Structure 1
Amino acid sequence: MPFLEHPKGRAYYRHWPAPEPRAVVVFLHGFGEHTGVYHRYGFALNAAGIDLWAVDQFGHGLSPGVRGDFGSIDDSSRLAETLTEIAEAQRPGLPLIAQGHSFGAVVTLARLLDQPDRYRAGVISGAPLIPIPELLDTDSSFDLDPHWLSNDPFYLDLLENDPLAFTDADSAPLARALDTAWDRFGHDLPKLTVPTLAVHGVVDPIAQIGAVRAYAEQIEALQIKEFPGGGHDILNDTMHREVTDAIIAFIDERC
């Protein structure tokens, strides 16, 4: 089992290798997930000649930590940095794409702002770009209705029966980490220069689409692709094939 080293502990990661890759995606998942829920996405990218590398963030999957506690934005960014270095060593010279979902999207945007020359492009989904009311009270727990995430029966069954997936946890650590990003985005996000695609469900009740639309209107590098009927976990919703096709087409344009 592959693990990468981090000051907080050894984090588990997965690699879905394409036979003859032409690009590399480095992916960060969101709250309650782990890398294993993205195998369908990984195989679809592989069929298009794209490598997928993903890491179980702290407090998730097979990585250590308190359930649901990612740590800081910097902790997650360091995971992505180490994973990027591993991917670069195994796939030298290939274009790098930074991708993240939900909390992972927030970390990905921070990395694209901090290292604009590192990645050829970025992809975000379910990105919470403004404060989420349910997380403003740091004394409460975060308890998600699975149907807020997806209407795909396969994915809902996975959430119910996968012992590594969950929809509830103490929200205080997540709120603290997101708060630092929200403070920054209002000032820095309009400075984004790396071409970035936001795929977003129109009926996402957690990270509502309005904020992403507003930022896309004012940021030339940010484009949005909307999916009617899509919930928060758009990569694992009923229209996941269309979402993946849009991402592949975007990567094709950039690589």
Structure 2
Amino acid sequence: MAFRELSFPSFNQNDTIQAWIYTPIRKPRGIVQLVHGFGEHSRRYLHMILKLNEAGFVVAADDHVGHGKTARESGNWSDWGDKGHLTMAEDEHTLRKIVQEAYPGLPYFMYGHSMGSMIARQYAAVYGDGVDGVILCGTSGVFPRAEEIVPALEALVAEGKGELVDPSYLVNLMGWMTERYENPVTPNDWISGDPDVVADHASDPFNNFTAPPNLRSLYYFVLMMQTIVGKQWAEKVPTAIPFYNIAGDQDPVGQYGEGVYAVSNWLAETGHKVKTKLYSGYRHEIHNDRDIRDEVEDGMIDFLNSVMEKVNK
């Protein structure tokens, strides 16, 4: 595996996005753009990136504004800017143009996990033309409490308080997520049933659950969630894009499977081809759980290959 590190200006006109393009040692067959989740960074996916490289795929990934190396370089962990809820999708579009210019003519796919799956869904509705397939991992249907928190955040932003950091709003949005688990040890036990994965997440200096987004950024986050629900969202996504929708059935982000199937049903009801797979007994980060990560990645590669066969005919 070889890689190139690069940077480019964010859509928010303030930050500089840090990104990487990982290339296989053999002639590449396609491109997978990897979109990471909330409070983490893209190099937590190196196991997956290596598997995708070995299968012949170029992998492009960045760290979002307020996340990972992008935030580490700028010192800005809390402010996603003031350019709206499409900021991260627009940054992904910039990266897409860079990687497709470097590797023209290859089939192009997007993989998004958690918040990254929300960005991928938003992206497909705005920039879906030319996308050959989308993999959603740990996605959400109608996210609990998102709708009820919007008016309060909207009012605070309108009052000029958007740059304030108030952790209580993030706790209100996400603090319920271990309620179904017996004897949770940490507030982040929803990430995985493997305590080593949870501990690794907590100790990673490029992760960030200790400095929450400011009120305006959190407002953008919940607005993003509201743009990707229902058939009204799915109708904006080109029907030519096939989807592979995967999650653990004990993942609160996906409402324990119910939200995952809701997304698949919205797509199916609007004429999209979608395959859904739930991993029984597993929580949010199925791609990092050592018991099943190879199985998860092999399923992704099978999906990519099946699409490639049709694209190359």
1:103-118 counterparts in 2 under 5 A? 103-118=115-130
- CA displacement at 1:128 relative to structure 2: 2.0
| Bigger Cα displacement from structure 2, 140-149 vs 156-165 | 140-149
| Alignment partners' CA distance in 2, 1:68 and 1:215 | 29
Structure 1: segments with no counterpart, 5+ residues: none
Q: Secondary structure at the match of 2:69?
A: coil
Deviation for aligned residue 1:149: 0.6
The alpha carbon displacement at 1:217 in A equals 3.1
Within the candidate set 248, 253, 261, 1:201 is matched to 248
Q: Note the C-alpha offset of 1:122.
A: 0.5
Q: 1:11 aligns with which of 9, 17, 21?
A: 17
Q: Quick check: 1:12–1:56 contact (8 Å CA) kept in 2? A: yes
1:91 to 99, 103, 110: 103
Pick one of 118, 142, 145 that aligns with 1:133. 145
Bigger Cα displacement from structure 2, 221-230 vs 180-189: 180-189
Q: Which has the higher strand share?
A: 1
Q: Distance in 2 between matches of 1:38 and 1:241?
A: 12
Deviation at 1:112, TM superposition (A): 1.2
- Corresponding position of 1:155: 197
Q: What RMSD over aligned residues (CA atoms) do the two structures have, in Å?
A: 2.3
Equivalents in 1 of 2:35, 2:263: separation in Å? Answer: 21
User: Counterpart amino acid of 1:195?
Assistant: P
Q: Matched residue of 1:63: which SS?
A: helix
Which whole-Å CA distance do the structure 1 matches of 2:259 and 2:300 have between them?
20
Instruction: State the secondary structure of the residue aligned to 2:143.
Output: coil
* Whole-angstrom distance in 2 between the partners of 1:196 and 1:68: 32
TM-score where L is the length of structure 2: 0.74
CA shift in 2, pair 1:123/1:27, >3 Å:
same
Q: Is the 8 A contact 2:34 2:111 kept in 1?
A: yes
Number of equivalent positions: 255
* Mapped contact 1:69–1:174 kept (Cα < 8 A): no
Structure 2 CA distance for aligned equivalents of residues 103 and 68 of structure 1 = 16
8 Å contact from structure 1 (residues 32, 68) kept in 2: no
- Equivalent residue for 1:166? 208
Shift in alpha-carbon separation, 1:112–1:170, aligned structure 2, 3 A: closer
What are the equivalent positions in structure 2 for 1:9-158 lying under 5 Å apart?
9-19=15-25, 20-64=27-71, 66-67=76-77, 69-70=79-80, 72-133=84-145, 136-137=148-149, 139-142=168-171, 145-152=187-194, 154-158=196-200
Stretch of structure 1 that moved more, 78-87 or 174-183 = 174-183
- Partners of 2:100 and 2:213 lie apart in 1 by 35
